Each structure stands twice: as structure tokens, then as C-alpha cells.
A and B are shown apart, each in its own frame.
Chain A
Amino acid sequence: MKINRRTFIGTAAAASATLSAPAVLGAAHGRPKVVVVGGGAGGATVAHYLGKDSGGAIDVTLIEPTRRYYTCFFSNLYLGGFREFESLGHSYGTLASDFGVNVVHDWVTGVDREARTVSLASGGSMAYDKLVLSPGIDFIEGAVEGWSTASQNKMPHAYKAGSQSQLLKAQIEAMPEGGTYAMVAPPNPFRCPPGPYERISMVAHRLKQINPTAKILILDPKEKFSKMALFQEAWGDHYDGMIEWVGPDFGGGNVSVNPDTMEVSVDGEIEKVDVCNVIPAMKAGHICEQAGLTEGNWAPVEPTAMTSRLDPNVHVLGDSSQQGDMPKSGFSANSQAKVVANNIRGQLTGSQIFPARYSNTCWSLVGTNDGIKVGASYEAGEDKITKIDGFISQTGESDEVRKQTYEESEGWYDGISADMFG
């Protein structure tokens, strides 16, 4: 068995993170090349598994702009004061040093699918035999009237973790006594379905400590949302009277904002708020569209190995993909990545390709030691990924069960981090 392969090939380790690597790669080696775009739950996991399992037989490059990656999952816990910001940060050093992954910190600006190359913002290009796109999400401009990415410093989305998370936290903590935090929630489909509502719970938790008369307003275009009964129960239990949810029947779907005046219009009624967290409608990461791999807002893939329906040499996974029943989540992307890695390795080296199996679990923290979860297992169906089985936490569960669920979620964070970054 291969488990002890930590010492193989030193090549890419030393050269990692330098931009000279692409030029070298073009000619010499006979090794098949995989380029992975995006170092999140999907991309980092693919690179990790390809490096770990191919024993150096595949030349693996991971292209990710940031040197330190902050996970979007658990960033709500940072907002709530349950985690330090730095605990969300991870680097790619182990993928490079122990798994032979060539880590390149750059932006991919284009994909030439004919020539099978990607071009980089710093100049130059890189050849691939198989391309994996896992760029996460981008926002649809104009989705919330009055908001654009140019206004994200006044009205943060904090739906890509990092400085946006820090900004939102600072704004929440600077709210005047009795002030109002408003969230403009996104329409389906979007990254992390319980995410906005976990965030509401965490913001409420923080405000209850520092600003107990503050108000929270959720403007939601959806009739219902993930784990709705569980969240509503928790809001009643922990933050009674603090949170108002405005669904589409009461104008939640007819919202515009003015970042300069910090005003929100709900069905024409103007409200002044102190923090406005705008989470706009989402689409596949921009590079998918640029590569011509999207139909509508997302990149369609077939269910057995997340292969693009428009190009058999490209796999799209995670949030950007349109695959069927799986929610857009870090857990899903991580699960899909292992199927993709096994498949690519089989195609390039002849190793055995096993049938796809996918799963997902989303934990949410709703209060101190109060965790809830929802999850399901999936398989490759006829023409989409299909749900087999699932579970969800129940309302009225004991404190002990909820505490265990929370502790389990902390364990999962450590587990998926190790599975992504080695």
C-alpha cells in the first residue's frame, strides 16, 4: 500500500509558489499534467489526493491567488466570537513539501481549450492534459438593486471569507446601541444553504453580549430555507424578539439598497440601517464563464466524475458546478474532489476507477454548545447526481445531543482541513 509515500519526489516542493515553474513545465516531462484552478475545498482536495495517490506519476499544479486561504465554512463562528480569525487560515506548504504539488499563487485569466493551456495574470501559460476548475462562486452584478461589488466595503457580503469577514465583524461590533443589522439573503441556488441563517444566529449571539437592544432584519426572497424550523426554534430560544425575518410575502424579494445613505427599501418602504450585509445572487466562478463552460449561471457536469458537459478534458466541481441534487458546500466539494481525483488518475495512469460516491453534511451553530446538522448521501444517477438518503437534526433535541453535534462539527473542521491541505 502506498500510505507511506511522504518522501517521494522532491521536485515541485522547492520550486513551489514561484512563478517560474510554468515555463519549465511546458516541454521536458513525459508525465501527464493536471492543472487545478482554485485552492478551496474542491481544488485543494483534488491536488492533495492526486499528489498522494499517484506517487509522482502525475504532474500536479494548483493555482490559487491567495497564499493563506481562509475557509468560508466556520467564518460565521468567527463573527459570533466562537473562533479566532486566524483559526480559519491555512497555507499550502504541506501540499507542496509532502505531496509534490506545484503550488502557484496567481490568477488564471483565460483557458484555451483547443490548445489545452491556461493563461496567468502574471503572464505566461501552462499546459494541461486534464483541467480541474474549482473556483467557487462569484456574484451576479445587479442582482440587488443599488449594490455592486464596488460597494462591498460599505455593505459587505462576507460570503468569501477573509477581509470581508473581518470588515463585517468590525461593523457589527461598532453598531450604535439598539441599532439595526440587516441581511439581504440570496435566492436559490447559492453557496452553503444554511450559511445566511447560521450567520444570523452568530450575529445575534454577539449582539446579545455587546448590544442587547439591537435588532436583526432578514430580507429574504425565499419562502423557506435550509433547516428553517431548527433555526426558528433556536432564535426563539436564544434571541427572543431580536430577529425579524421578512419573507417574499412581505416584500423580502423586492429589495433595493443605497450604500451611501445606508438605506434599504423593502417593497418601497425605506428603512435606515447600521449594518447591511448584502449576499447577492450567485453564479459560477468567473473563469468557468470565460472558459465557455457555463450554461446559464453554472457549469453543467455529468454525474459520474463531474466532467464538463462541454469539454471532456475539464472537470468542474464544487460551488461552480451544476450537478444535480447536492448542495453547494465545502463538504460537497471535498466529497466530489475525491471522485474526480480517482477518475483523473485512472484516465491518466490506468489505475482503477471506482464508482462515484458522494455525501454531504452541513453543521450549523445556533448558540453556545447548540449545534444542528443536515446531510445526505448521493450517487451518480442517469443524468445527474441523485440523493439516496438523508437526515436532519430534530427540534426539541436535548442539550447533550446539541453539544455533541457542535463538538462533532469542530472535529469535522479539523478533519476536512487535514483532508484539503495535507
Chain B
Amino acid sequence: MTGKKRQTGKSIRSVFLASAVLMFGAPALGAGDIERGEALYGKCIGCHQVGEGAVNRIGPQLNGIFDRPAGTVEGYRYSNGMKRASADGLVWTREKLDAFIEDPRILVSRTRMSFRGMKDEQDRTDLLAYLQQYSDNPSDIPEATPRVVGADHDLDPAVLAIVGDPAYGEYLSGECAGCHQDSGANDGIPAITNWPVEDFVIALHAYKSGIREHPVMEMMAKRLTDDEIAALAAYYKDLE
């Protein structure tokens, strides 16, 4: 997240890439194009971090995802849908990841992951090749410099620091609940339950200022004050 880290990350990364070529010979597993995959990962970075120092945000961090049992990242609050899939024994093999990315809700019904799916097989292959770097060799995880949610916003730190009143947030949430289900179900409208406060606040301010475009959300956010946004974030963070 800091400049210092970035520099270190870059150097580790170049070493790693070199070794990756040595290990697998070119092209690696599934003939994925890692650079293309990195660009495609842009669709994921709103919610998922990967690389050195990656932490759980709206979605769980993705280091070591390959061959990990589903729903097991420490400290992440999974949807009931993902918990069920986990209990049913879902393991993130390459094939399962491929199916999940193609259409999340077909593989895991009522997952909270609000992603419409990536239909193109080559796209998925490239994306997985990119992600696999962060799984094959956990001790050498390269830092993914621009992968940090919230790094590209210019929100006043004072606004981000506002501590919201969850009781007020609960009342205000009535306006959200007509569309966004508390349960985290997200068919057609994304889930907002249990988002980290910072992501919630950044997203609503982005709608408010029009950086993020969506007619309903821009209208809803436009009349929310900074305190009201903080209140909503505080409420949704802990919603069960």
C-alpha cells in the first residue's frame, strides 16, 4: 500500500517471474497469458486483494486460492451459500475456479460474490494463470502493486475517519433494503452486507460524486451526508 512496499514488491516479482519460467518452461499451465490475466484481474480488484500483504476486503484475499478448500480464509465472513458449498466439500481446483469465474451463481448458489461471470474461456485461462502465481509458491508471493482497494480515491481522510452511528444507519438502511437483501443474496443486485467500512464509504462517495455510475445509486448517494454514509457503513459492517 505504501511506496516503500511497492518497490520491494517489484523486485521480488521480477525474480519470481524469472523462476516461474524456469520451473514451468513457457507457457505455463493451461497456456494462460499472465500479462493478459493481470489486465483482466482489473474486474476483480474492486473486491479482492492478492499479493504480498493482501487482506480480506469485500471479498476474501486470494493468495493460495488454488487447491484450498472453499470458505476457509481466516477472518472472512462467508455467505451462507459459500459455507454450504464448503461443508459439501468444494475445493478450489483449477476446474472449480474456472467454473466459478464463468458463472459464480451456477457453482455456488446464493454466493455473495456480485460478479456477472467471465464467459470467454481464454479470458478465464489467462486470469487463472495470473492468479496461480500467488498460489504456487506462497513464500515468494509477489506484491501486486496496483491491487489495493481504495488506493485510487481522493477522499478526504477526515471523511474516512468519521465513526458512524449504527442506530441511525439502521434507520437509513430501510432505503437500501428494498433492493439489497440483508441476507447477502445478490441475484441482479449486489450484496452490501458485511462490507468493510472503508470500502463502503469509498463506494458511496464514488456514487455521490459520479465517479461510479449507476442512476439509482447516484441518486441515493447524492442526498446522503458524510455522517449518514458513515452510519450506513457502521450498520452494514456488523449485520448478521
Residues of A within 8 A of B (CB): 1-4, 49, 53, 331, 334-335, 338-339, 342, 352, 354, 357, 359, 361, 373, 375-377, 388-391, 393, 407-412, 414-416, 418-419
* Given known A1-B170, A361-B216, A377-B220, contact A419–B239 (CB-CB < 8 A): no
Question: Per a CB cutoff under 8 Å, which of B182, B183, B219 touches A377?
Answer: B219
Instruction: Say whether A352 contacts B178, CB under 8 Å.
Output: no
Instruction: Say whether B215 contacts A373, CB under 8 Å.
Output: yes
Residue with the greatest number of chain A CB neighbours at <10 A, chosen from B166, B168, B223, B235: B223
In the complex, what residues of B have CB within 8 A of residue A335's CB?
174-175, 178
A408 to B216 alpha-carbon distance, docked (Å): 11
In the complex, what residues of A have CB within 8 A of residue B168's CB?
354
A390 to B219 alpha-carbon distance, docked (Å): 7
* Given known A373-B216, A389-B219, A411-B187, contact A419–B178 (CB-CB < 8 A): yes
B219 nearest CB across to chain A (Å): 5
In the complex, what residues of A have CB within 8 A of residue B238's CB?
1, 3
* Given known A1-B166, A3-B240, contact A418–B182 (CB-CB < 8 A): yes
B168's nearest neighbour on chain A, judged by CB, is A354
Question: Per a CB cutoff under 8 Å, which of B178, B183, B187 touches A416?
Answer: B178
Instruction: Say whether B170 contacts A389, CB under 8 Å.
Output: no
* Given known A335-B175, A354-B171, contact A410–B188 (CB-CB < 8 A): yes
Residue with the greatest number of chain A CB neighbours at <10 A, chosen from B178, B181, B218, B240: B178
Residue with the greatest number of chain A CB neighbours at <10 A, chosen from B179, B180, B182, B240: B179
Instruction: Say whether B178 contacts A334, CB under 8 Å.
Output: yes
Instruction: Say whether B216 contacts A391, CB under 8 Å.
Output: yes
A46 to B90 alpha-carbon distance, docked (Å): 40
* Given known A373-B215, A373-B216, contact A411–B179 (CB-CB < 8 A): yes
A49 to B235 alpha-carbon distance, docked (Å): 16
Instruction: Say whether A377 contacts B181, CB under 8 Å.
Output: no
In the complex, what residues of B have CB within 8 A of residue A414's CB?
181, 185, 187-189
A397 to B219 alpha-carbon distance, docked (Å): 19
Q: Which of B83-120 contact A (CB under 8 A)?
A: none
Given contacts A3-B239, A338-B175, A418-B177, 10 further A-B contacts (CB under 8 A): A2-B170, A3-B240, A4-B240, A357-B172, A359-B175, A359-B220, A377-B219, A408-B188, A415-B181, A419-B177
A361 nearest CB across to chain B (Å): 6
Q: Which of B161-212 contact A (CB under 8 A)?
A: 166-168, 170-172, 174-175, 177-183, 185-189
Is B5 in contact with chain A by the CB < 8 A criterion? no
Question: Per a CB cutoff under 8 Å, which of B171, B188, B239, B240 touches A411?
Answer: B188
Instruction: Say whether A416 contacts B216, CB under 8 Å.
Output: no
Instruction: Say whether A415 contacts B219, CB under 8 Å.
Output: no
7 intermolecular pairs with C-beta atoms under 8 Å apart = A335-B178, A338-B174, A342-B171, A375-B216, A377-B223, A391-B215, A411-B188
A390 to B216 alpha-carbon distance, docked (Å): 9
A352 to B218 alpha-carbon distance, docked (Å): 28
Is B222 in contact with chain A by the CB < 8 A criterion? yes
B239 nearest CB across to chain A (Å): 6
Instruction: Say whether B179 contacts A416, CB under 8 Å.
Output: yes
* Given known A373-B215, A411-B186, A412-B188, contact A357–B178 (CB-CB < 8 A): no
A375 to B239 alpha-carbon distance, docked (Å): 27
A414 to B190 alpha-carbon distance, docked (Å): 12
User: Can you list the 8 inter-chain pairs with the closest CB atoms, starting with the nearest?
Assistant: A411-B188, A411-B189, A338-B174, A391-B215, A407-B188, A415-B179, A410-B188, A354-B171
